[in-house]
Structure 1
């Protein structure tokens, strides 16, 4: 069987790239796999990978100051370019199954299905109109004029992809329910929970006694960082620090961060590339990770933190809630609930023995999400879907 996997990112780069790499490794064990990705460098793998370059128009838009705020258009142009390249490649490629990332594979699906192939839509977020709704709500709260929502054309492409898809694969039960609530049949949506490298992401000894709250990720509207900042400030925990690892994606959030950093000496911002540096340098010096997302298909960083022995606080609209056992390895709070985050932070800061116990439980949970379990789930999906 010939399988084509497509994703408009570099293999292994960032959360999307890691999910792509995991899926590629799993599919390679089941079929004759070819991967199409973006970029110009061909990674060293034991299966064919073809980088298809990047959209020059998207790059020019992002490099033009007056247009830079049109991130929605830049993403759309990038995805359109990538999808067209995949469409061209498929004219000379055999294909029995195509698995493509949501928003990036409308033309690719059409080309593959014209050859009689099955199409699986790989959605790394929640149902995109739900995601759009959450982002727009945040932009009103932030009074941010930056265009950080999805372009209407992207949503139309996504709707076409869903219509063409024989199966939709998501990262969590949380994400699946957003599709089910939108009217999709439950049997059309399969959950493939990600895993992390528990050798790279591992517990290490903390070298100070600061109660350090960690956030890792792009500072964008759907990630809900202002709720964490307000909760941390409200908690007033002695000898504490909030470490924010990541850059801001919108002008309004950049201004927000400038104000926060100028007014709070115990809130810090750093930029780390975990694909090139030891992640334990950050996770190992932290006490708890908080992912206050108002929308997140999974939030792989939560599982990475758990592998490093940190309890986590996530929202009920974050897919990582799937692996959180309330009060055992972390907490699940309602989205946008500052008081709930505050209470959990205070509880962990005042109960060191419980914090340590929950951290150990978190590591056990992460260690159970193995590549073998991932492969078994993928095998099951393969057997059930391709025998229909």
Structure 2
């Protein structure tokens, strides 16, 4: 079995670049990787002769494509960049048994691979595009945020990709259910949960006694940050700290400024290199991710692996591995009251919080990147059989 893997991002970079890298490495470690196509790549432990940078100029071209699209009204440039990447990547498809490409950047590549007799696997790291659009449109209206998070061009391309793919690989049951609810056949959608680096993320000693709630991810409406801020205000904890790590999105700047102006125990750290995140987890008492729409947030695996009780929503993917009281708590989306109640409980019951944190490590023991690679190869073998 020979596989081509394609992702229009920096292979080995942050976010999806991390997932893409570990996917390709897992396929390579099983001796199945024909080549990996990417926008450009960071330093990776995959032989250079099978890594193909698709965008001439690498990261510079990547940024120029997105900024050019945004000048013409695109909210983020993803649709335009994904389309350009896909057209160029499709020219690098060779004979293979499996083509595995990321959603919104693989339509023409899948067609090229299928013409050569390959199985077309589509990676969809978020909910069905219509579900995603509906959730985010509702949220943007709620907070009076102008513009669109999901473009019409993305919706059109996504729906065609879903139709033409032989298999759709998704990271969580939340995502799978969103596809089924939108009419996609159950047999076409397969859950393959992501993982974490067990050599990096593990429990460590906390250096102080401060009760610290940590959030990591895009500081945005999609990630539910407004509800976390509202919960923090409800709690009124004076002997505690809320730490927000990540890029601040435009729609959050005014609200965040208002809260940090009123509460001196809210710290916004901005972007933190991946290599330093383990230190942030080990400073925390609780990890909170009240996201509205996600595939399976990698930060959940990392926080659990570091022994933190996690408070998250069913829409994060976390419900696949967390039961109430085992690893953390699942709270409804858009529910600041429930979020505050769970934070308060952990604040007032440190022994119980410690016990839940210990169980957190067990929740992710079977979700390393090595196991992800094994599951991915298993998926290919089952579908090809």
Question: After TM superposition, is the score higher than 0.5?
Answer: yes
* TM-score, normalising length: structure 2: 0.93
Question: In structure 2, what is the equivalent of residue 274 of structure 1?
Answer: 273
Q: Determine if the alignment matches structure 1 residue 123 to structure 2 residue 118.
A: no
- Say if 1:8 and 1:125 are closer, same or farther in 2 by CA, change over 3 A: same
Question: In structure 1, what is the equivalent of residue 338 of structure 2?
Answer: 340
Q: Which whole-Å deviations, capped at 9, do the CAs of 1:58-82 have from their partners, x for residues lacking one?
A: 734765899397334x111211111
Q: Which whole-Å deviations, capped at 9, do the CAs of 1:259-295 have from their partners, x for residues lacking one?
A: 22222111110034333x3322211110111111111
Deviation at 1:219, TM superposition (A): 1.7
Instruction: Verify the 8 A CA contact 2:103 2:123 in the aligned structure 1.
Output: yes
Question: In structure 2, what is the equivalent of residue 101 of structure 1?
Answer: 102
SS at match of 1:71: coil
Instruction: Verify the 8 A CA contact 1:293 1:318 in the aligned structure 2.
Output: yes
Question: In structure 1, what is the equivalent of residue 384 of structure 2?
Answer: 386
CA distance in 2, matches of 1:60, 1:385: 39
Instruction: Verify the 8 A CA contact 1:22 1:194 in the aligned structure 2.
Output: no
SS at match of 1:253: helix
Deviation at 1:55, TM superposition (A): 8.5
- Say if 1:4 and 1:114 are closer, same or farther in 2 by CA, change over 3 A: same
CA distance in 1, matches of 2:18, 2:91: 25
Deviation at 1:26, TM superposition (A): 2.3
- Say if 1:259 and 1:69 are closer, same or farther in 2 by CA, change over 3 A: farther
- Say if 1:66 and 1:82 are closer, same or farther in 2 by CA, change over 3 A: closer
Q: Which one is further off, 148-157 or 372-381?
A: 372-381
Instruction: Verify the 8 A CA contact 1:83 1:108 in the aligned structure 2.
Output: yes
CA distance in 2, matches of 1:57, 1:31: 30
CA distance in 2, matches of 1:104, 1:114: 18
Please list every run of 5 or more consecutive structure 2 residues that lacks an aligned counterpart in the other structure: none
Q: Determine if the alignment matches structure 1 residue 83 to structure 2 residue 89.
A: no
Deviation at 1:234, TM superposition (A): 0.5
CA distance in 2, matches of 1:301, 1:335: 18
The one of 283, 290, 293 equivalent to 2:281 is 283
Please list every run of 5 or more consecutive structure 1 residues that lacks an aligned counterpart in the other structure: none
Q: Which whole-Å deviations, capped at 9, do the CAs of 1:215-266 have from their partners, x for residues lacking one?
A: 100122211110011011111223111100012223x212222222222111
* TM-score, normalising length: structure 1: 0.92
Deviation at 1:94, TM superposition (A): 1.9
Q: Which whole-Å deviations, capped at 9, do the CAs of 1:283-312 have from their partners, x for residues lacking one?
A: 111011111111111111011001111010
Instruction: Verify the 8 A CA contact 2:54 2:85 in the aligned structure 1.
Output: yes
Deviation at 1:211, TM superposition (A): 1.0
CA distance in 1, matches of 2:305, 2:72: 37
Question: In structure 2, what is the equivalent of residue 311 of structure 1?
Answer: 309
